[in-house]
A = this chain, B = another copy of it.
Amino acid sequence: MKKITIRDIAKQAEVSISTVSFVINGKGEKMAISPAVIKKVQDVAQKLQYKPSMIASSLRTGKTRSIGLIVEDISNQFFADLARVIEDEAKNINYRVFYCSTGDDNERSEELVQSLLQANVEGFIITPTRNLEKTISQLLKLQKPVVLIDRYFANQKVSHVVMDNYEGSYSAVKYLISKGRKNIAVVNNKSGMVQMKLREKGYVDALKEEGIYNENYTLLLDYHINEQSRIDAIIDFFRQNPKIDAVLFSANYLGLAGLQAFRTLEYRIPEDISVISFDDHDSFKLHTPTISVIAQPIEDIAVKSIQLLMSQMSNFDDFKIEKVLKKGTLIIRESI
């Protein structure tokens, strides 16, 4: 049951391997191969169930028809959904996606980039960690197409597509205010990356406009602590600030921890506290009560980022850097 190659077809069809290659790649016409020969080659290929070796072809052409997708955590539903859509989009244009998670670890991120580089992927879609800026510059120097998603570096000239985080939290907070809430808190992580900063800024600005911003109502948590520590920290925070009557969680895993904290605290939602979280999640739909969210435009982000990547791949020297903001969707459920 040996592997059958282009050579076997050439022999059986009694033509040269060049001819076979042209036919297989649909260049038969262009190379003026006669219809009869084209047919014969195709038939033989069919009969022998020929599958081209993409390894050999990659070696020759330098193309792998694959892209690398580096996300923060593939087991987080937001990234899983994103990956799924990106993979589907890629398949449409006959590309394969290699995905992997950084776990927000910078060293691991660099390793992943190196390993994808070694696998010769043709482009990168990355949710960068805080210190990945130089690594990304390196990729650009190597002429590798890169698109950042979810976050970016303000001073780096790289295409990116992210949600309009500022607008998302600004309008969420405004909505809370419109419902009569006055003591609105935010729970964020400490990463300091731009997307998190913007979520915070939207929150702050919305409150300042109404003159009800209170700087004690911000809780910043470390990304790398475990879930129980997160819950404990949130419990502490709310115990110390009993007047808070609404809260915005800046990421789904923060919201999930928050809900567990409220259970311990025996807060009733929305009577005691209104809740809204970034990123939709099965649990938010299922929770009693259901939780309002600012849902990311996952499909839009996926489609646009593949599109930007492709435009770079087809013409690296002369594509325009695009910085794309996609609006999120405020989904109001029972928690407000």
> Do A119 and B54 form a contact, CB below 8 Å, given A1-B143, A80-B74?
yes
B288 touching A120 by the CB < 8 A rule? Answer: no
A260 close to chain B: CB less than 8 A: yes
CA distance A188 to B288 in the complex (A): 25
Q: Which of B80, B142, B143 contacts A80 (CB 8 A)?
A: B80
Residue-wise interface mask of A (119-153) relative to B, using a CB-CB cutoff of 8 A (1 in contact, 0 not): 11000000000000000000001110000000000
> A209 to chain B: which residues have CB within 8 Å?
none
A77 close to chain B: CB less than 8 A: yes
Query: Count of chain A residues with Cβ under 8 Å from any Cβ of B?
Result: 43
Least CB separation from A100: chain B residue:
B87
Does more than half of chain A's interface fall in helix, strand or loop, or is it mixed?
Answer: helix
A80 touching B84 by the CB < 8 A rule? Answer: no
CA distance A143 to B1 in the complex (A): 9
A283 close to chain B: CB less than 8 A: yes
A58 close to chain B: CB less than 8 A: yes
**A interface list, Cβ under 8 A from B:** 1, 51-56, 58-59, 64, 74-75, 77, 80-81, 83-84, 87, 96, 98-101, 114-115, 117-120, 141-143, 256, 259-260, 263, 281-283, 285-288
25 contacts between A and B (CB under 8 A): A1-B141, A1-B143, A51-B114, A51-B117, A51-B118, A53-B59, A53-B120, A54-B118, A55-B59, A55-B64, A55-B120, A74-B74, A74-B83, A74-B84, A75-B77, A75-B84, A87-B100, A98-B98, A260-B285, A260-B286, A282-B282, A283-B283, A283-B286, A283-B287, A287-B288
